[in-house]
Chains A and B, each alone.
Chain A
Amino acid sequence: MSVQVDPELEVPVSVDTGSRAAPRKHRRLRAFVRNPTFVAGVMILAFFVFLAVFADLLCPGDPLDMVAPPVLWPGQDMAFPLGTDSLGRDVLSGLVHGSRASLVVGISAAAIGLAIGMLVGALAGFFGGRIDTALTRLIELFQTTPTFILVIVIVAIGEPNLETIAMAIGLASWPTVARLVRAQFRSLRESDFVMAARSLGYSRWRIILQEILPNALPPVIVAASVMTANAILIEAGLSFLNMRDPNIVSWGGMIGDGRDQLRTAWFLTALPGAAIALAVLSLNLVGDGLNEILNPRTEP
């Protein structure tokens, strides 16, 4: 008994054949562009990155130098369009150079948090059993400690420079990523393609790095943008509390310095505050957009 196989038969039945990689990439790209919140987030973020990269060209000189009479209001002297603070420092220059501290701390803290969180989450989710129990306890231990307090303690122990601050924020924020990655690994390790990889004799590390990790990444990428935003906020909070490198201008520090003139010169706190809000907003918009774009259920 044999059924005649018509090689042509399968073509009309198949629904998604013929969609080659190239048009698919274009569709991806279009999905990016069509998502207005994502585009807005990317544009604002790109603006801040531009400021950070070209700060020395845009506003030459040390932003901490006293260059003008104190407390010039915005527009009062066109040489200092956003005015000066109580020590006669240029606010515009401070904002432009301050984007560096915020972005550097935000991105490096998120990178540290991602690295630790992904490692812990992957090990816990993949191996399960006792390793999982032990690592989950560790995650819970960190999660029950308020993030900001933990960061303050770590920075208070070390030097208040950018490296310590980034490290502290990273150390305090990894549990979220770890939980996320753990959940992904737990479900993916039971999937058929991982079973197939095991039956082909792949080593554990190959399965973790090559089979599971690439499929676990989308929600992690989304989390990364939100983590960066949170790190920027925490850095601003620390600077406000004067736990900062006194030789580097930062937005949080500018708010802290302007606090005393809140009733007479509110712009000294409002402007850096707006910068922080915009940067955090842009990262959250990017996160939301990525969530929609990378979500397999809304696959273009």
Chain B
Amino acid sequence: MALLSVRDLHTRYAVGKQQLRAVDGVSFEVGRGETVGLVGESGCGKSTLGKTILRLVPSAEGTIELDGADITHLGEGAMAPHRRRMQMIFQDPFGSLNPRQTIRTVLDTALKVHRLGNGAERERQLQEIVTRVGLPSDSLDRYPHEFSGGQRQRIGIARALVLHPALIVCDEPVSALDVSIQAQILNLLIDLKREFGLAYLFISHDLSVVRYFADRVLVMYFGRIVESASHATLWRDPRHPYTKALFAAVPSADPTHKRVAPPIKGELVTTEQVRGCRFHSRCPAATDRCRAEEPPLRSLGEGHHAACHYA
């Protein structure tokens, strides 16, 4: 039984009278201790998917199962015990911390809400977690504005970790940070994963980060998963034209290196209803079949799936 199992999940936002299908029929699983990368360009629904799984955004259709329990429609009270099992790390280290609370309040309230431990035990846990994520030991009584971006992200990690979850959704956890700090935070996440047996759903638009980090990668386009494979397979043999284009867009340090696919043009349009493959308007290899018929996500063997007629 997978830790997290998502089946045919849909999330829709109302944009005026139209509906924005931010997540449009996504299915995948995350096993215990597994790191699943979720890549795609801005606005393709990655963050919405993460927030829908955590029940922070209401889903329109489909099911979310955590440890085999269906949590899709649980009320606030019934959801509370499941909240301990999954947490989130946010992109913006400035907006994700309440500016009017000390670090102690942030972490201690979480423990209090879930009635974990008495005063002394909680204090010991707070000290432990703060040192574990690499913050100075006198951090607890300070406010978020007294920390740098990288340190704030460590606070965000401490907050996600304080309830000892099994799954953490990392929503672009390093993209707002300096490159030198990025590596530190990524290594911290890797260490914590080993230490606590965490599973990550790692959302990023940065392929190099995902490659460094993920066991398995899901490529998302326009609310759907268009390709999924283990990270080795995907980098060796990308099958969907969109994935190829994403790889081609990564700048190469070698000037003699030839592009594997032409760069994609145009922009992601998310409100209009598309017939056929949702990538056809930007796909260099699109045919009449692509314009008429939507390709399902089909298996290519070895856990490799792609949603392309010609993959």
Footprint of B on A, CB under 8 Å?
1-3, 5, 7, 9-10, 13-21, 24, 191-193, 195-204, 206, 210-211, 214-215
A-side contacts of B145, CB under 8 Å? 16, 19, 24
Interface centre among A2, A15, A195 (most CB of B within 10 A): A195
- CA–CA, A151 to B269, complex, Å? 53
Given the known interface contacts A20-B146, A192-B96, the answer about A204 and B76 at a Cβ–Cβ threshold of 8 Å is: yes
Closest B residue, CB atoms, query A19: B146
Whole-angstrom distance from the CB of A206 to the nearest CB of chain B?
7
- Cβ of A9 and Cβ of B148 under 8 Å apart? no
Given the known interface contacts A14-B147, A193-B97, A199-B87, the answer about A210 and B109 at a Cβ–Cβ threshold of 8 Å is: yes
Given the known interface contacts A10-B150, A14-B148, A17-B146, the answer about A201 and B114 at a Cβ–Cβ threshold of 8 Å is: yes
User: Is B88 close to A, CB under 8 A?
Assistant: yes
Interface centre among A2, A3, A196, A214 (most CB of B within 10 A): A196
- Cβ of B180 and Cβ of A196 under 8 Å apart? no
Whole-angstrom distance from the CB of B199 to the nearest CB of chain A?
16
Whole-angstrom distance from the CB of B179 to the nearest CB of chain A?
10
> Which of B3-11, B24-32, B78-86, B302-310 faces chain A?
B78-86
- Cβ of B109 and Cβ of A202 under 8 Å apart? yes
- Cβ of B134 and Cβ of A201 under 8 Å apart? no
- Cβ of B148 and Cβ of A17 under 8 Å apart? yes
A-side contacts of B137, CB under 8 Å? none
A-side contacts of B98, CB under 8 Å? 193, 197, 211, 214-215
B-side contacts of A9, CB under 8 Å? 180, 184
A-side contacts of B99, CB under 8 Å? 215
A-B contact pairs, 28 of them (CB 8 A): A1-B212, A3-B183, A3-B187, A9-B184, A10-B150, A13-B180, A14-B148, A16-B145, A16-B146, A17-B146, A18-B146, A193-B96, A193-B97, A193-B98, A195-B90, A196-B159, A198-B56, A199-B54, A199-B56, A200-B87, A200-B110, A200-B163, A201-B113, A201-B114, A204-B76, A206-B109, A206-B113, A211-B98
Whole-angstrom distance from the CB of A148 to the nearest CB of chain B?
37
Give the top 10 A-B pairs by smallest Cβ distance, nearest first. Answer: A14-B148, A201-B83, A192-B96, A3-B183, A193-B98, A192-B95, A214-B100, A192-B90, A201-B80, A200-B110
A-side contacts of B212, CB under 8 Å? 1
Whole-angstrom distance from the CB of B208 to the nearest CB of chain A?
11
Closest A residue, CB atoms, query B144: A193
Whole-angstrom distance from the CB of A213 to the nearest CB of chain B?
10
- Cβ of A16 and Cβ of B184 under 8 Å apart? no
Footprint of A on B, CB under 8 Å?
51, 54, 56, 76, 79-80, 83-84, 86-88, 90-92, 95-101, 109-110, 113-114, 134, 142-143, 145-151, 156, 159, 163, 178, 180-181, 183-184, 186-188, 190, 212
Closest A residue, CB atoms, query B186: A3
Whole-angstrom distance from the CB of A131 to the nearest CB of chain B?
16
Interface centre among A5, A192, A204, A214 (most CB of B within 10 A): A192
Whole-angstrom distance from the CB of A273 to the nearest CB of chain B?
42
B-side contacts of A14, CB under 8 Å? 147-151
Whole-angstrom distance from the CB of A12 to the nearest CB of chain B?
10
- CA–CA, A204 to B87, complex, Å? 18
- Cβ of A2 and Cβ of B113 under 8 Å apart? no
- Cβ of A199 and Cβ of B100 under 8 Å apart? no
Whole-angstrom distance from the CB of A23 to the nearest CB of chain B?
10
Contact of B84 among A15, A201, A215 (CB under 8 A): A201
- Cβ of B92 and Cβ of A192 under 8 Å apart? yes
Given the known interface contacts A199-B87, A201-B79, the answer about A13 and B150 at a Cβ–Cβ threshold of 8 Å is: yes
A-side contacts of B146, CB under 8 Å? 16-21, 24
- CA–CA, A144 to B218, complex, Å? 54
- Cβ of B100 and Cβ of A2 under 8 Å apart? no
A-side contacts of B151, CB under 8 Å? 10, 14, 17
- CA–CA, A24 to B149, complex, Å? 19
Query: Beyond the given A13-B150, A13-B180, A199-B56, could you list 14 further A-B residue pairs with CB under 8 A, ordered by the A residue number?
Result: A7-B134, A10-B150, A16-B147, A16-B148, A17-B146, A17-B151, A21-B146, A24-B145, A193-B95, A199-B54, A199-B83, A200-B83, A201-B79, A215-B100
- CA–CA, A197 to B76, complex, Å? 13
- CA–CA, A197 to B180, complex, Å? 29
Whole-angstrom distance from the CB of A20 to the nearest CB of chain B?
7
Contact of A196 among B76, B96, B186 (CB under 8 A): B96
B-side contacts of A3, CB under 8 Å? 183-184, 186-187
